[in-house]
Structure 1
Amino acid sequence: MLKMMTFQGLLGQHPVPRTLNFLGHPQKLPSTSEADSEASMSEASSEDLAPPLEAGVSPEQDGAEAVKKKKEKKKPSALTNVLNILRGKKKSSPSSAQPEPGPGSDKPAPTVEELKAALEGGQLEAAGHLLALERELVVLATAGSLDAEELVRRQSKVEALYVLLRGQVLGLLRRPLDAAPERLRQALAVVAEQEREDQRAAEAGPGAATLVTTRPRHWLQQWRHSVAEVASERMGARLATHTKGRSEVEDAFLNMGHTMKEDLEAVVERLRPLFPAEFDVVTTYARSYHEHFAAHVTALAQFELCERDAYLLLLWVQNLYPNDILKSPKLAAELQGVSLGSLLPSRQIRVLEATFLSNEVVSVKELMARALKLESQRWAQDMAPQKLDDHCHSELAIDIIQIVSQGQAKAENITPELGLQIKQMLLVELAAFLRSYQRTFDEFLERGKQLRNYRANVIANVNNCLSFRTSMEQNWSTVQNPRSHLLDPLSELKSHGFDTLLQSLFEDLKPLFKRFTKTRWAAPAETLEEILTTVGRRLPEFRELQDCFREELMEAVHLHLVKEYIIRLSKRQLVLKTAEQQQQLARHILANAGAIQRFCTQNGSLANWLQPALPTLAEIIRLQDPSAIKMEVATYATSYPDFSKGHLSAILAIKGNLSSSDAKSIRNILDLDTGTQAPSRPLFSLIKVG
């Protein structure tokens, strides 16, 4: 039987990476005038972002003015108020007139060269000073303190520093598992601060016309793009070798499935505790991996796939991906609120499922026909059947059951609903196969009589019916009547097999039964004893039948003995005119009936329904009162609904002292409607009377 396929079962020893590795080449991030910024950065100095000289003031005047200003008490200016508003503060007070120098306010603000060196060294603490420089530049531009050329020059330096910062931050986030937790938190904090600054800039409105617009920077969005790139690299990595026995499609699915599952588990266990909520790290990674998987599946579905790969595609889309990956123990709760959807549109899935059902039914039909052909060739070649537990055995039933069960299991592996659909379709094909099997077996019964292993192969095929019947009763019961669709061909096959096996025995018994009428029922006990002895000698021929079929075959023998005995009584060749003669015949019949019942029961017959057949006829022959005979006939007709007036007339013909009027009156009892149904087990319908 085909075992239910699972994602873990499919993996086997597949050599896919076992750990999440977000390593890779650092992402080259787009930037406005990035090349210019880098070039300008090489010339940056500590004075690049210093306030400009007032127009028309000489250097000497500048020095004197500087000394004078230091002595004056500073007051809040319009420039300071603008800066504070941009920083999110209220209107400035005298104590907060100057722009914040950034972290470490008790120390001088770092120079541009120092910031550059710090960022190149990966010191993310410099991000705060860089943000302060950016804000001060905006304030200067808004106040008109710098000319356009100077603003452009200074802004290019700020942007060059941001290029360095972004490379450090997003480089860390691209390979988060390689970073120390504290350093990762720093990078995340920088991105979060940049997002807040984007929001503040948007609320403040357009800046000075002389500044190039650099916000929003969208670093969070760029991080999400990098996650998508990492997912594409991880999921799209080509395997160096393919596993023997698997197609490239199967290997690709296994690699993507395993990679996605283990990578997302690492995200849940190791990254989620470190990432702020606004990053929605699990959802971001899950969607990126899902989108790559879906794109691969969509592209693959456009091709004309072989049956195996088409089945594999459906299996992943409908079962393995949603159940073994998205609903795996470590991911189910985390992904419950993430609406990833299906890997393929429902319309395309329906088309693929219809194609799969059609292909699978055709495949099952062809496999069953091939199995029957091979089996019938074995019969024709006079090959002896196998023996299993001393019974003749054929693999045909096992092969057919396995073929059908595998077809249904494949569909159930995709979805239970698809399993139900194909079950109905396979039942139709199985019923057609069994009819074909019966016809092929009947042909063998006619043509193979001279073969040495003829009887053994007949027994093996009768035994097949047990495996078929057991499987159908356990696994293939439907709302439809299984007997007419499936069991009837088997019943016919078994019946024809029994007829063949018993044919020579019944031919041997025929002359013995004729003695009853030829000798006018003289010494009936001796005749019956010879009949039973003949049957007993032949019973070992059937020991290779399954036990249940030996019992059924013995029931067929039992029926034959009772039927032939009644035929002899119904020949109208014996007329007994006295009550004493009739009573003596009745005693012989009772004795013979007892002997037949004991012999058949001891040899396995369970046909208890035959027990009253001969004793009641004996009673009808023995009785002399027409009313009493009518009562027996009425009871008899209830037990054997196929007991007709013709059969009754043949029995009454033995009673030579019964008047024609009484005989007619007794026969009319059978005209009464007793409410009996047609016999489920025929007896008298097998007996023809003249």
Structure 2
Amino acid sequence: DYDLGFQRSLKMTEPIISSSLMLYSRAAPCGKSSAPLCISNTMNPTFEGYLERQYLFEATQQLIKREKHLFGEKTEADGLKDHEEAVKKLAADHKALEEHVWQILQKSLSLSTEEEVSALTSAVKAINLEEEQDQLWRQRCRTTPAWRPKKWKEHHDKVLHELVYSRLENPSSPTGDQVNQSPIRADVQSMGRQLKEDLQWVVEVVKNCYPPEMDICNFYARQYHQTFSARLKQIADFVLDDKDCSFLLRWVKEFYPGDLMIYIGRVLDEAKKEWDQGKEPTRYDDCYASPVAYDVIQVQLLQQNKMKEAEIDLFLIFCRYKEFHEDIIRQNKPHSKAFIKANLSCVKQFRYVSDPNVRENCLRGLTEMKQSAHTYLLTPVHKILKPHYQKVGTSDWLKNTFEKLLNSTEDELQELQGSTQSCHQELIGQLQQEMTVEYVRRLLKGEVKLKDKDRQLKAYETVKENAERLHELFGSKQDWLKEILTKIAEVLKLQDIPAIQMQIVSLGSAYPDLSEKHVSALLKLKTNLSRADRKIVKTTLSDTLKESRADPGTRKFFSKV
């Protein structure tokens, strides 16, 4: 039932068309014409005469009568040559009739005289008569004429669809204030005004030319609704400024309730479809891109305009998107990494939610999505680097085997490319942090024994150089990771207990998650330190941490070791 769709189409251009529904309710029921067709009683009118006077129904009747004669039971008197000529003439007349019918249909929304209105009524009756004749021929067990089935009803629908499309594509009614409107807003307003005028014409004039069963009012309502919606989507595919986006989305949200949710849902469905088909997401500037991210940006404009219902829609879409993200990781297909890289940029866009309640729910899930994406992309990297990690903190490590770890890492960094610049930096920043954590963990295992000052100095130089090279490889601004390794290197170099105490306190003050166990493991590498010396240093750290309150915003590092 498209009564609701018809009313929505009229409502779409409010307040421009506030009177249209009243006109619709006042108009006579479909098919009950207030001006019945009047035909002159001309004696034996010819087919050409019918066409000239636009009596298309009567012309159709005459052609059907000739068709029955030519394709019915033939007698021996029927000459073959005369029959062929008559069939050719009938085919030509059918073509001429069709042209007249389609011409008047194309004028349905611009009928200018009573004669044209009567001609449309006659054309509609002709179409229905031809449909009946098509049905009769389907029931006969004999060869049909070349022009059967004619499928005029199907062609009728196509002609009107194209008519509606052309009316909205090239609206004839400009809006009043074209000067102060952007081209986008002027275009939408013009389409709205054209839609209003055309649907008014349908309820006042056109529907009286049709029988009730053809339900022409709702047919036009469907055509305008579908065409207008498609046109809005086409406009939305352009890069719009904030004002145009806001204007367009406001139309969609207010005049097509639920369509915005449906539209973005379809974008997500399309992404899922590409995933199922094994396709990689589109790349722009060598970065994988998700179309969902762009549409999320558009939804934000609704929130800025205080359309709170869109905020709820956004959370529902986010939940669906999170499920899709998790499914990609779970299935682990060859193109999963490409989709996860595209999703990272989309996750970033979801962070700009204005409603506090929705933002809290979204941010929790977004953090989980980013962490799961990083884990999915980085776990294979750590697996490849594991043999090189195992060298850290061993005697071989002091022989500069760290170069192999750096070379392998550089190769893996190339494989991690494909997300946007900011997302890529966050990803490799996470990798640098995890590699530093693994480096310290391996070092504190205590496999290497630094028995004297020379070996401790060698270890200092190795750790310090490793920190510099790792920082240089990632080209990041994460100086704090380099600082941690440098402070650890200083502890390995120092020989005086007071100096070691000061360095440990400095490290513990900067990173309060440094525990006595970490300090004990580090000091045990210096095998020339006594248990009593180690206890003094640990006690100093413990007392310092008790006296000072850790800043809640302080980075955590050693708790991960």
TM-score by length of 1: 0.43
Aligned-partner Cα distance in 2 for 1:574–1:481? 53
- Aligned residue in 2 for 1:377: 273
- Aligned residue in 1 for 2:379: 503
Residue 585 of structure 1 aligns to a residue whose secondary structure is: helix
Which of 532, 535, 551 in structure 1 is aligned with 2:409? 535
Seen in structure 2, the aligned counterparts of structure 1 residues 245 and 674 have a Cα distance that, compared at 3 Å, is farther
Aligned-partner Cα distance in 2 for 1:455–1:515? 29
Aligned-partner Cα distance in 2 for 1:677–1:537? 38
- Aligned residue in 2 for 1:464: 346
The yes-or-no answer on 1:615 pairing with 2:499 is no
Aligned-partner Cα distance in 1 for 2:548–2:404? 40
Seen in structure 2, the aligned counterparts of structure 1 residues 584 and 382 have a Cα distance that, compared at 3 Å, is same
Residue 368 of structure 2 aligns to a residue whose secondary structure is: helix
> How far apart are residue 523 of structure 1 and its match?
4.2
- Aligned residue in 1 for 2:337: 455
Seen in structure 2, the aligned counterparts of structure 1 residues 359 and 681 have a Cα distance that, compared at 3 Å, is farther
The yes-or-no answer on 1:588 pairing with 2:462 is yes
**Contact persistence 2:445–2:521 (CA under 8 A):** yes
Aligned-partner Cα distance in 2 for 1:635–1:663? 12
**Higher RCO, 1 or 2 (CA under 8 Å, sep at least 6)?**
2
The yes-or-no answer on 1:438 pairing with 2:312 is no
1:5-49, Cα deviation, whole Å (9 max, x unpaired) = x989989xxxxxxxxxxxxxxxxxxxxxxxxxxxxxxxxxxxxxx
Give the gaps of 5 or more residues in structure 2. 1-11, 18-108, 113-159, 178-199, 201-220, 229-251
> How far apart are residue 582 of structure 1 and its match?
2.7
**Contact persistence 2:264–2:292 (CA under 8 A):** no
Residue 515 of structure 1 aligns to a residue whose secondary structure is: coil
1:63-78 mapped onto 2 (5 Å cutoff): none
> How far apart are residue 454 of structure 1 and its match?
2.7
1:396-442, Cα deviation, whole Å (9 max, x unpaired) = 2223444x258x39xxxxxxxxx7442x3322332342243123212
1:252-651 mapped onto 2 (5 Å cutoff): 362-402=258-298, 404=299, 408=302, 420-422=305-307, 424-449=308-333, 451=334, 453-466=335-348, 468=349, 473=352, 476=353, 478=354, 480=356, 484-517=360-393, 520-524=394-398, 526-601=400-475, 605-651=476-522
**Contact persistence 1:629–1:666 (CA under 8 A):** no
> How far apart are residue 613 of structure 1 and its match?
0.9
Seen in structure 2, the aligned counterparts of structure 1 residues 568 and 439 have a Cα distance that, compared at 3 Å, is same
Aligned-partner Cα distance in 2 for 1:462–1:511? 29
Seen in structure 2, the aligned counterparts of structure 1 residues 245 and 539 have a Cα distance that, compared at 3 Å, is farther
Residue 611 of structure 1 aligns to a residue whose secondary structure is: helix
> How far apart are residue 461 of structure 1 and its match?
2.2
1:14-29 mapped onto 2 (5 Å cutoff): none
- Aligned residue in 2 for 1:3: none
Aligned-partner Cα distance in 2 for 1:455–1:480? 32
**Contact persistence 1:525–1:592 (CA under 8 A):** no
Aligned-partner Cα distance in 1 for 2:355–2:501? 44
Seen in structure 2, the aligned counterparts of structure 1 residues 243 and 379 have a Cα distance that, compared at 3 Å, is closer
Aligned-partner Cα distance in 2 for 1:616–1:585? 13
Residue 423 of structure 2 aligns to a residue whose secondary structure is: helix
**Contact persistence 1:509–1:534 (CA under 8 A):** yes
**Contact persistence 1:589–1:618 (CA under 8 A):** yes
Amino acid paired to 2:346: N
1:444-480, Cα deviation, whole Å (9 max, x unpaired) = 111133x3x23222222223345x25xx65xx5x373
Residue 385 of structure 1 aligns to a residue whose secondary structure is: coil
Amino acid paired to 2:329: L
1:532-552, Cα deviation, whole Å (9 max, x unpaired) = 011112222233222222322
Cα-Cα RMSD: 4.6
Aligned-partner Cα distance in 2 for 1:680–1:428? 35
Aligned-partner Cα distance in 2 for 1:645–1:428? 49
1:489-540, Cα deviation, whole Å (9 max, x unpaired) = 44433332232222222111111111234xx333435321000011112222
Aligned-partner Cα distance in 2 for 1:243–1:490? 44
Amino acid paired to 1:496: S
> How far apart are residue 615 of structure 1 and its match?
0.7
Aligned-partner Cα distance in 2 for 1:583–1:483? 52
1:196-228, Cα deviation, whole Å (9 max, x unpaired) = xxxxxxxxxxxxxxxxxxxxxxxxxxxxxxxxx
Residue 557 of structure 1 aligns to a residue whose secondary structure is: helix
Amino acid paired to 1:495: Q
**Contact persistence 1:572–1:653 (CA under 8 A):** yes
1:166-245 mapped onto 2 (5 Å cutoff): none
1:111-122 mapped onto 2 (5 Å cutoff): none
Aligned-partner Cα distance in 1 for 2:376–2:538? 41
Amino acid paired to 1:538: E
> How far apart are residue 382 of structure 1 and its match?
0.8
Aligned-partner Cα distance in 1 for 2:539–2:323? 48
Seen in structure 2, the aligned counterparts of structure 1 residues 376 and 553 have a Cα distance that, compared at 3 Å, is same
Amino acid paired to 1:537: D
Residue 612 of structure 1 aligns to a residue whose secondary structure is: helix
Amino acid paired to 1:629: I
> How far apart are residue 371 of structure 1 and its match?
2.7
Amino acid paired to 2:360: S
> How far apart are residue 612 of structure 1 and its match?
0.4
> How far apart are residue 650 of structure 1 and its match?
2.0
- Aligned residue in 2 for 1:671: 545
**Contact persistence 2:467–2:486 (CA under 8 A):** yes
Aligned-partner Cα distance in 1 for 2:357–2:511? 26
1:34-53 mapped onto 2 (5 Å cutoff): none
**Contact persistence 1:583–1:621 (CA under 8 A):** yes
Alignment length (residue pairs): 346
- Aligned residue in 1 for 2:76: none
- Aligned residue in 2 for 1:197: none
> How far apart are residue 485 of structure 1 and its match?
4.4
Aligned-partner Cα distance in 2 for 1:545–1:496? 15
Aligned-partner Cα distance in 2 for 1:436–1:637? 44
- Which structure is larger by alpha-carbon Rg, 1 or 2? 1
Amino acid paired to 1:457: F
1:303-327, Cα deviation, whole Å (9 max, x unpaired) = xx99x99xx9xxxxxxxxxxxxxxx
Larger mean CA deviation between 505-514 and 522-531 belongs to 522-531
Aligned-partner Cα distance in 2 for 1:479–1:529? 50
Aligned-partner Cα distance in 2 for 1:496–1:481? 23
Aligned-partner Cα distance in 1 for 2:346–2:542? 47
Give the gaps of 5 or more residues in structure 1. 1-5, 12-237, 262-295, 297-304, 313-355, 410-418
Seen in structure 2, the aligned counterparts of structure 1 residues 370 and 557 have a Cα distance that, compared at 3 Å, is same
Amino acid paired to 1:514: Q
> How far apart are residue 629 of structure 1 and its match?
2.5
1:363-417, Cα deviation, whole Å (9 max, x unpaired) = 4334433332331232122112212122222222223444x258x39xxxxxxxx
Seen in structure 2, the aligned counterparts of structure 1 residues 240 and 486 have a Cα distance that, compared at 3 Å, is farther
> How far apart are residue 560 of structure 1 and its match?
2.4
